[in-house]
Amino acid sequence: MSNIPSVNLSDFLSNDDSLKKDFVNKIGKAYKEIGFVSLKGHFLTQNNIDNLYAQIKHFFDLPQETKNKYEFDGFKGQRGYTSFGKEHAKGKKEGDLKEFWHFGQYIEKDNKDFNYPDNIIIDEFPGFNDAGYKTYKALEKTGIYVLRAIALFLSLKEDHFDKYVINGNSILRPIHYPPIKKEPKKAVRAAAHGDINLITLLMGAHGKGLQVKNNNGEWIDAIAEKDEIVINVGDMLSRYTNNKLKSTIHRVVNPPKEHWTKSRYSIPFFLHPIGTMKLNVLDSCVDSANPKLFKDISAHDFLIDRLIDIGVMKKK
C-alpha cells in the first residue's frame, strides 16, 4: 500500500498482549498522521467480495427505467438506488460522475427502537440482496473491532463505541462510475471530500482512482493489496476527538483518456453510530494547546446537515 500504513487485525484479535498493544499504537499513529490504513485479517471472504461485485454489475447494467423504480426521495432515499450525478461534494455544484445503491442496517422486526427505512429488495436478481447482507455484516463486524482499538488508543474503555455502533445507521454503498463519454466540465468521479461517518471501510475497488491528500498537501494513490481493505477516519470521529484523529480529504479522479471506456466499481461501508450519539468533543481531547473546535451536536443532526450539503436531501 503506497504511503499508507498497513496493519493486521489478527494481531488485535490474538491472545498476545504485546501484538494487541502494537496494533493499537500503529493504527492510532496512522489515524493521527494521515487518517488512512490498509487492513489485513478482516472478516470479509473473497467469496463475499467476488459475489457482490458480480451482483452489482448485473444491477447497474439494467435499463435506466428499471433502476429508476428503486430510487426514492428524502430519508427513504438512504436505501436503494441513487441515479447518476445526483450527489456532489460539499461546496461543489457539479454532480459526481457516479450512480450507487444503499444497503442499510438490518434490524430485527420486533425491535421498535429504530426508525430506519426498510432495505429495498430488488426483484431481478435475488442473489443481490443476500450478497449485500453478508458483506454488510462482515464489514460491520470488522469495523466494530477497529473502533475498539481506537477506543484503547484514546484511553477509553475498549467497548466504548459498541453501544453507539451496534444497530447504528451504517450504510453499504456499491458504486458504479460509468464510462466517460465526453470531456467532463469540472466534474470528477468523486470530488475531494471527507466522509460523514465514524470510519469508512473500503473493499478493494475495481480500478485505480482513489487518492488521499497527505499532510504536505500532496495527492497520493491509495491502492490496497488483494487481501486488504482500506479504512479511513470520517468527520464524525474527527469531530469527536477534536481533530486528534484526522478525517483526511480524498477523491476519485477521472482515469487517463485511454481508459474512459471502462467502468469503475467501488464498495465502501460507512460505519455510522445511532442517531442519538452525542458527538460532543471528548474532554480528554481538549486542553490549553487544543481548545474545543466544535459545537455540541447529535449524530442524527450532523448527518442530516451533511446530506443536505451534498444534495441528497432537501431542507424542509
Tally the residues of the chain.
316
Q: Residue 209: pLDDT above 70? A: no
- Strands of the chain (E only): list them: 6-8, 36-40, 80-82, 99-102, 171-172, 175-177, 190-193, 199-202, 210-213, 219-221, 229-233, 250-252, 264-266, 268-271
Pick the residue with more confidence: 108 or 27? 27
- Does the model's pTM come out above 0.75? yes
**pLDDT average, residue stretch 146-157:** 98
Q: Residue 191: pLDDT above 70? A: no
Note the pLDDT tens digit of each residue in 273-302: 999 999 999 999 999 999 999 999 999 999
CATH class of 6-309: mainly beta
Number of helices and strands in the chain (H, E): 8, 14
Q: Residue 206: pLDDT above 50? A: no
Q: Residue 230: pLDDT above 80? A: yes
Note the pLDDT tens digit of each residue in 10-60: 999 999 999 999 999 999 999 998 888 999 999 999 899 999 999 999 999
Q: Where are the domains of the chain?
A: 6-309
In whole numbers, what is the pLDDT of the chain averaged over residues? 86
Return the pLDDT at 270: 96
Percent of the chain with pLDDT over 90: 57
